[in-house]
């Protein structure tokens, strides 16, 4: 068995010589395969070059996409700001709608006042003009002056008659009656005129009454003098009634004129006050929107310093003073809402954090501009703790006496 195994192993140990043709064929096949591989490698190299070009173009596209994404983020922030502005505008419009009812009431009141003024003007047109009244008054004054002169003359004549009667009591009745007739005619001509005869007429009445009451004269002239006295009294009463009526008309005219002037002044004052109040409220809303937009624009800036924080604090103080002044002028409380104050202080702290400013400087500016009491109401302790730490909170509590 061992010999057989050895006999089998011997043929394996013998090596055959290679055939040249086979070698040539193998070399050809290897060269062809090498050529094919080189072609494939060249194709792969082209593909790699094209892929490199595609990658370069894709890298540029990625850069453009990154830039587009950055712009989209900026636009998103701007859109958020615009949305907040629109929300505040809607709230402002709601407030305007609330004030619209008040404006309609004012319009109705102004219409009623216009109607009243038109009625007053119509009445004033129907009344006599002031120039005519002054003309009639001047004419009556002149007539009164003339009448007073005539009365003085008559009084002198009466005195003369009285003196003659006292000097010559034995004269006949005819001479006295003639003189009395002359006096009667003169007094009738005076009584036909209008005017105030005043004290002169009363003096004349007293003198004639004294003559009639005299026993000498009464015995001489009798019933004729009594009728003469009654006629004089009637004329005097008619003249005094006429003058009193003219005085009453003049006083009524002046009272109505004063009343119309006072009503017109009251209407003007109410209308001006209502329009001023409405315009001031609208101005306050516009100023508030302008202030919030300015604070947002400054807060969006990446770079800033302590001067920007001071500018924001000054704008906040000016807005608070504006609302306080409008409250005093309109006699209606229009204070700046506490939420707006907290929002402004929070924005200032956010900017200080973004711009890496010191808390003590920012806190000093807010205290100087806003005041300790207002800052105590508007500041938020959790925000200060998150941004500046516990030391800033301790400083606020010590400065503002917050427990």
For every residue of 329-356, DSSP letters joined together read HHTS--PPPHHHHHHHHHHHHHHHHHTT
Co-location of 310 and 202 in the same domain: no
Co-location of 240 and 332 in the same domain: no
Last residue of a domain, one of 227, 252, 268: 268
DSSP state for residue 355 in the 8-state scheme: T
Last residue of a domain, one of 43, 59, 75: 59
Co-location of 256 and 311 in the same domain: no
Last residue of a domain, one of 248, 268, 288: 268
Q: Which two tokens stand for residue 142?
A: 């002149």
Task: Residue count of the chain, please give it.
Answer: 403
324 falls within a domain: yes
Co-location of 305 and 264 in the same domain: no
Co-location of 129 and 220 in the same domain: yes
Co-location of 134 and 254 in the same domain: yes
Co-location of 53 and 157 in the same domain: no
Burial class (CB in 10 A: 0-12, 13-18, 19+), 30: exposed
Q: Cα-flanking dihedrals φ and ψ of residue 289, to 5°? A: -65, -40
pLDDT per residue of the chain (403 residues) written in tens, 0 to 9: 444 445 444 455 445 556 788 788 888 888 888 888 888 898 888 898 889 889 898 888 888 888 899 889 888 888 988 988 888 888 887 877 777 777 787 788 888 888 888 887 777 666 655 566 566 666 666 666 655 665 666 666 656 666 665 665 444 445 555 655 665 565 555 545 544 444 555 554 555 555 445 544 444 444 554 565 566 566 556 656 665 665 565 465 456 545 545 554 554 454 455 455 556 666 777 788 888 888 888 888 888 899 999 999 999 998 888 888 887 777 666 677 888 888 989 999 999 998 989 998 999 999 998 888 888 888 888 998 999 999 989 998 888 888 6
Predicted TM-score (pTM) of the model is 0.35
117 falls within a domain: no
Q: Which residue range forms the structural domain that includes residue 143?
A: 125-268
294 falls within a domain: no
Total domain count, the chain: 3
Co-location of 249 and 154 in the same domain: yes
Co-location of 322 and 258 in the same domain: no
Co-location of 248 and 129 in the same domain: yes
Cα dist. 384→307, 342, 379 in Å?
20, 12, 8
Co-location of 39 and 139 in the same domain: no
Co-location of 180 and 313 in the same domain: no
């Amino acid at each position: 068995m061992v010999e057989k195994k050895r006999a089998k192993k011997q043929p394996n140990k013998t090596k055959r010589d290679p055939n040249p043709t086979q070698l040539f064929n193998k070399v050809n096949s290897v060269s062809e395969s090498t050529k094919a591989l080189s072609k494939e490698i060249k194709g792969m190299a082209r593909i790699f070059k094209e892929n490199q070009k595609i990658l370069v173009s894709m890298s540029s596209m990625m850069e453009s996409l990154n830039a587009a994404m950055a712009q989209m983020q900026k636009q998103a922030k701007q859109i958020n700001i615009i949305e907040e502005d629109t929300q505040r505008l809607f709230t402002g419009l709601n407030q305007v709608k609330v004030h619209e009812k008040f404006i309609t009431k004012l319009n109705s009141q102004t219409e009623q006042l216009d109607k009243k003024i038109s009625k007053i003007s119509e009445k004033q047109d129907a009344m006599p003009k002031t120039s005519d009244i002054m003309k009639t008054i001047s004419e009556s004054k002149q007539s009164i002056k003339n009448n007073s002169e005539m009365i003085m003359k008559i009084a002198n004549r009466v005195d003369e008659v009285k003196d003659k009667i006292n000097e010559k009591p034995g004269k006949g009745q005819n001479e006295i009656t003639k003189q009395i007739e002359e006096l009667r005619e003169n007094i009738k001509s005076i009584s036909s005129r209008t005017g105030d005869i005043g004290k002169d007429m009363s003096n004349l009445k007293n003198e004639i009454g004294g003559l009639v009451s005299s026993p000498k004269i009464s015995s001489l002239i009798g019933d004729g003098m009594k009728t003469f006295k009654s006629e004089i009294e009637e004329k005097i009463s008619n003249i005094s009634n006429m003058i009193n009526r003219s005085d009453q008309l003049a006083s009524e005219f002046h009272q109505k004129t004063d009343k119309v002037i006072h009503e017109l002044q009251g209407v003007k004052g109410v209308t001006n006050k209502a329009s001023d109040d409405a315009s001031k409220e609208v101005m306050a809303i516009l100023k508030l929107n302008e202030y919030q937009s300015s604070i947002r624009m400054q807060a969006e800036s990446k770079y800033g310093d302590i001067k920007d924080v001071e500018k924001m604090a000054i704008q906040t103080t000016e807005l608070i003073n504006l609302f306080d002044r409008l409250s005093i002028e309109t006699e209606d409380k229009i204070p700046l809402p506490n939420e707006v104050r907290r929002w402004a202080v929070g924005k200032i702290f956010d900017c200080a954090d973004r711009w890496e400013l010191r808390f003590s400087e920012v806190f000093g500016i807010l205290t100087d501009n806003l005041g300790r009491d207002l800052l105590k109401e508007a500041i938020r302790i959790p925000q200060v703790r998150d941004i500046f730490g516990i030391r800033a909170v301790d400083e606020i509590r010590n400065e503002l006496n917050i427990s």
